[in-house]
Amino acid sequence: FGRIARRVAGAGIGLGMRVRVYDPYVKHNGFPSSVTRETELAALLAAADVVSVHVPLSDETRRMFDADAFAAMKPGSVFINTARGGLVDQDALLGALEEGRLFGAGLDVTEPEPLPPEHPLLHRPDVIVTPHVASGTQEGKRRIFRTTIAQVIHVLNGERPPHLVNPEVWDTVATRVAADGGA
């Protein structure tokens, strides 16, 4: 239940929504009392009117929104993905839309990015596709710069960085940094 998901949840609560969250990696006490924690993704999908995805892409999460996930979603719900295109089986999403299972979809990310002009998702009235450009703003660039510098400082101090993308290499990097004497 990371920074972006918390911001989206806060906005939803502010709009009077009942917010449900599925995050298998956060301990129970990591959720605000105004949020319902679901322990199974299928339970969240079956109950939610809007599913907003804020998940990193990994081997474990690639195509996590497949035909089974869309079939589990509440009929008439909306699917929003602002995380990574690889999280979604776009053919399965298209199928769910064509069947009328979903009311619509909002995609800020696709795979590939951008979609080819003839891609069917671009021509559906129930789909909004926006360019993935949040990091292109001045504020976004400053945040990326600050986060990058903080990550490098953690590594140079021999500390595991908080936003480690490839944790499987940390032991190797930490050993190398320690051997070089750190910062």
pLDDT tens for the chain, residues 1 to 183 = 888 898 899 999 988 899 999 998 887 666 778 899 899 999 999 999 999 999 999 999 999 999 999 999 999 999 999 999 999 999 999 999 999 999 999 999 999 999 999 999 999 999 999 987 766 778 877 887 888 888 888 888 888 888 777 777 788 777 776 776 654
Whether the CB-CB separation of 47 and 79 falls below 8 Å is answered with no
Give the distance from CA 36 to its chain's centroid: 18
pLDDT given for residue 28 in this prediction:
67
CATH 3.40.50.720 correct for 3-133 = yes
Cis, bond preceding 112 (omega within 30 deg of 0): yes
Angle at 81 between CA 78 and CA 82, to 5 degrees: 135
pLDDT of residue 170: 80
Question: Cα separation of 115 and 136, whole Å?
Answer: 19
CA distances for 17 relative to 7, 9, 20, 50, 122, angstroms: 13, 9, 9, 10, 29
Catalytic residue among 38, 54, 84, 101: 84
Catalytic hit among 63, 124, 132, 154:
132
Q: Taking a C-beta distance cutoff of 8 angstroms, is the pair 127, 101 a contact?
A: no
Q: Give the up-direction half-sphere exposure of residue 101: CA atoms within 13 A in the CB hemisphere.
A: 19
Output the pLDDT for position 180.
64
Burial class (CB in 10 A: 0-12, 13-18, 19+), 165: exposed
In the chain, the amino acid numbered 140 is: G
Question: How far is 37 from 44, CA to CA, in rounded Å?
Answer: 9
3-state secondary structure of 163: coil
Is 132 catalytic? The answer is: yes
Q: pLDDT value at position 139?
A: 81
| 146 catalytically annotated | no
Q: What are the boundaries of each domain within the chain?
A: 3-133, 136-179
Catalytic residue among 40, 98, 99, 113: 113
